Structure 1
C-alpha cells in the first residue's frame, strides 16, 4: 500500500475527518427510548446525551423494557440524571447556547407499557410513552423524528400499531415517513416486527438478539467493546476504560458523579446518537457516508444464527472500513467504522464534561472547519481539483492543524491506488482527478484539529464527482 493512502487511513483512525456541517437552525428532532437501569451503560449514555442536548430538539425521553429488563421501567432514573444536569446547566451555557431547561426535560420524560416485546403491542396496550410518540411525530414540523432505541422497541411498535389501526393507508405512510430509527441490536422481538410490517420505515441497526451472540458482531460494539462484546483489536482501549473515565468524567461535578463504573462495556447505546452530533462529519440521512456513530449500508441482511427471523427488506446495516489501528496494523471490519473516530469523540466528551465545571477561559472549545469552495465538486479525469480550508478558525485562539483524507468506502470510486493528495496536511492543497470509465464519487474529509486540551476536531466533507474525459 502506497504512503499517501497509508497516512490517510492512519489519520482517519485517530478520528480526523471531514463533512458538511448542518446549519444550527436545522437541529434534529430526537426522542430516546431507553431500558435504563438494566445495566450501567444506559446511564452512562444518558450522561453524555445530556451534555450534547443543545445540538438537538430533544422531544422525548421514554423509559422502556428490554430482554434484560422485561417487566420494569425506570423513568425515575432518567429524572435523577436530568436533575443532576440541572445543577450544571448554567455552567454549560457559559460555553454554548441552547441547552434545554431542566423542567422541560422532566416534562418530556415518559413511561412505556411495562411488559416485554410484543406482549406490549396491541389493543389495550397504549401507554404514556406510545401516545407521546404519536403526538411528537404528528407535530406540524417537516423535520423527521430520530428515535434511538437503547433497549426494546415495543413502545414505538405500539405507536405504529395504533396509527395503522386508526388511520388511512395514506396517513400511515405519512406518519412512517417522518421516523428515523436506530436500534442497538434487537433487545426484544418488536424490532423484526417493525421491519417486516413497516417496510418503508428508515431503519438503522445490526439485527439479532443477544443470547445467540448478536452483540459480538454488531457495529455498535465498536464504541468500546474491545475486550467484551466486540472482542476486536486495533483501537486504543485506554480512552474508553475506567481509569480514563475516572479522570475525565466521574470527577467532574454533579453530572459526572452520576456516571457509573463500567460493568461490561462503556456506553453501548451511545452510537445511536453519535451520528446526530453536529460536527460536520455526520450526515444522518446518509448512514452509508460514515460518521462518529459508524457506517451503515442499505441492503437486505443475509440470515444469521442470531436473527429472530429472516430479514425481508433492505435496512441500513453493517458495513466495512479498512483502518490502521493503534497497533500499526490494518483492520477491516464493521466495528472499525466506529472506533476509527474514538479519539475524536472521547476528547469531545471530555471537553464537554469540563464545561460542566469550568469557566469559559479554562476549557477548550471546538474549532470551526470551513471550506473556501462548495462541498460538492465536479471534475473530469486529469483535471486539477483544488481544496481549501480558508476561513477555518478556533474560538480559543489555538493553533490549528489540517488533514485532507481520502475516505474510499463511502464513494463509488473504489480503486485501491492512492488518490495522491499533494500535501494532505496543508491548509490548501490539490489532487488530480483519476481516470474513470463512468461518473464516480470520491469522498475527501477535511479534519481541522486544535492544539487545545483536549484536542478537538471538526470537519467538512467534500464529495467530488469525477467524469470521464
Structure 2
C-alpha cells in the first residue's frame, strides 16, 4: 500500500512539474490589445495580467483596436480598479506593478484597419513598440497580440531593425480576419520573425469543443471571484462572469517554462513550426469549386475601369452574412484598373459573398468559397514562405478538441491555471 501511495505521489509531482515549470528569467512584455471593443474577453485577460503583474517586466499596454471601439481609456479604467484593490493584494505580494507606472506605459494605437498596403501612419502605440524594442537589454521584448496587428506592422515598417529584438505570441483567429492586410504585410516582409501564430489552440481554454465561440458554463465566478474586491465585482460585467479570457494563453505561455521553446508542454499551449503561410490569389470571383484552409489569405483581384484615384482608395465592399448581421470588408483600388481585397476566414464553412460598389462593373458581383478545417494545409504557388522561427497550432489529430486544432494542448491545463488564480482571488476576500 505504501508503494502504491509513493508511486501515486511521484506521478503527481512529475505532473505538477510539467504543469508549471519556472520561467528562466522574468520576461519583458508589451501587450497590444483591442480592449473595449466588441469582445469583452480582453477585460478578463487584463484583470488576470494585473493580478499577475509581478511575473512580468511590463513595458507597454497599447490599445490596438482593428475593429470596434477599443481605446486606451479602457485600459486606464482597469488600472483604476486594480489600484483600489492593490492594498489587499500587496499584503500577499509586494512585487505587483505600481498603477502610476502602468499608466505611464499605456498608449493609444491605430483605431481601425490598415489599408491594402498593410500599414498607414505612425501612432503613439507603434512608436512605443519601437522605443521598447530598442532598449538595451540581453532579453528580447515579448509582444503579446490580443487584437489587431496594425501597430505591430507599423512599428516593423518604420523600424525594420527591431525584427531581431522582438518575439511575438499572437492570438489570431478572428483577429486575423480583421487584420488581413497587416498580417499579409508582416508575413511577406518579415518571414524570419520569431512568431507564434495561435489561430485555434486558445479556444481550448474556454469553448465547447464543437462551438469555438461559445463560452463554457462554469461556477468559477461563484466559487472563486464573488466578493473579491473591485476587480471581482467588475468581472461579473463580462459574459456574466463566465470565463473566456481568449487572450490569456499568451500570458500562460510566459508563466510556464522556457518561452524560447514553443514545442514544449506549457500552460499556454504547445506549437510546431510551419514552413508556409497559405495564400491563394484569384483573378475574378470564386465558386464552390474553390477551396482554402481556414485562416489562410484569400486575395481577390477584379478588373474594372481605370480611375484617376490614389492607390489604396476604398472603392467597394464585400458583404458576407454572419448570423443575423452582414459583415462588410473594404476593397481597394491598386491602379491600372486593378481592384483587390484580402479576406481571411476564421473557421471551416461555406461562404457566400456579394460585392457592392458605385462602380457599375463591380457592383452586384457575387461568389462562393469552401473553407476546410486544417491549418495551414498544402502549400500553394502563392503561399508565403516562412523562416525557421514561425510556429502555429499543432496539426496532430489527437490534439484536436472537437473541431479545435491544437485545443487539447491548452485545455489540459485549464484546471491548474484556474486553481492557481483562485489563490490570488482569495487575497481580495
TM-score normalised by L of structure 1: 0.60
Task: Determine the structure 1 residue equivalent to 2:163.
Answer: 176
Task: Determine the structure 1 residue equivalent to 2:425.
Answer: 353
Task: Determine the structure 1 residue equivalent to 2:411.
Answer: 339
Change (3 A) 1:50 1:188: same
SS of equivalent residue, structure 2 residue 296? coil
TM-score normalised by L of structure 2: 0.66
Alignment of 1:381-460 (within 5 A): none
Task: Determine the structure 1 residue equivalent to 2:308.
Answer: none
Task: Determine the structure 2 residue equivalent to 1:312.
Answer: 385
SS of equivalent residue, structure 2 residue 18? coil
- Residue-pair matches, total: 313
1:151 aligns with 2:147: yes
| Contact in 1 for aligned 2:277/2:296 (Cα 8 Å) | no
Task: Determine the structure 1 residue equivalent to 2:249.
Answer: 271
| Contact in 2 for aligned 1:177/1:201 (Cα 8 Å) | yes
TM-fit CA distance, 1:273: 1.4
1: distance between equivalents of 2:112 and 2:238?
28
Mean Cα deviation higher: 178-187 or 243-252 = 243-252
Superposed CA deviations along residues 327-368 of structure 1, whole A, max 9, x for unmatched, are xxx99951000010111001111111112x14xxxxxxxxxx
Change (3 A) 1:230 1:100: same
Unaligned runs of 5+ in 2: 1-7, 279-292, 299-382
Change (3 A) 1:119 1:76: farther
1:45 aligns with 2:45: yes
TM-fit CA distance, 1:22: 2.9
Task: Determine the structure 2 residue equivalent to 1:29.
Answer: 28
TM-fit CA distance, 1:229: 4.4
2: distance between equivalents of 1:182 and 1:205?
6
TM-fit CA distance, 1:192: 3.2
Alignment of 1:115-264 (within 5 A): 115-118=112-115, 122=119, 125-164=121-160, 172=161, 175-185=162-172, 186=176, 187-189=178-180, 190-207=182-199, 218-226=200-208, 229-230=211-212, 241-259=217-235, 260-262=237-239
2: distance between equivalents of 1:118 and 1:202?
25
Change (3 A) 1:229 1:152: farther
Task: Determine the structure 1 residue equivalent to 2:73.
Answer: 76
| Contact in 1 for aligned 2:399/2:406 (Cα 8 Å) | no
TM-fit CA distance, 1:19: 6.0
2: distance between equivalents of 1:323 and 1:126?
40
Task: Determine the structure 2 residue equivalent to 1:86.
Answer: 83
Q: Structure 1 or 2: larger strand share? A: 2
Change (3 A) 1:316 1:250: farther
4+ residue stretches of structure 1 with deviation over 6 A? Answer: none
SS of equivalent residue, structure 1 residue 97? coil
Change (3 A) 1:265 1:245: closer
**Aligned partner of 1:299 among 267, 271, 274:** 274
SS of equivalent residue, structure 1 residue 276? helix
Change (3 A) 1:20 1:73: closer
2: distance between equivalents of 1:333 and 1:153?
22
Change (3 A) 1:265 1:188: farther
TM-fit CA distance, 1:21: 2.1
Change (3 A) 1:88 1:247: same
SS of equivalent residue, structure 1 residue 289? coil
Q: CA RMSD, aligned part only?
A: 3.3
TM-fit CA distance, 1:60: 0.6
1: distance between equivalents of 2:149 and 2:227?
34
Change (3 A) 1:119 1:179: same
| Contact in 1 for aligned 2:212/2:404 (Cα 8 Å) | no
TM-fit CA distance, 1:104: 0.6
| Contact in 1 for aligned 2:149/2:179 (Cα 8 Å) | yes
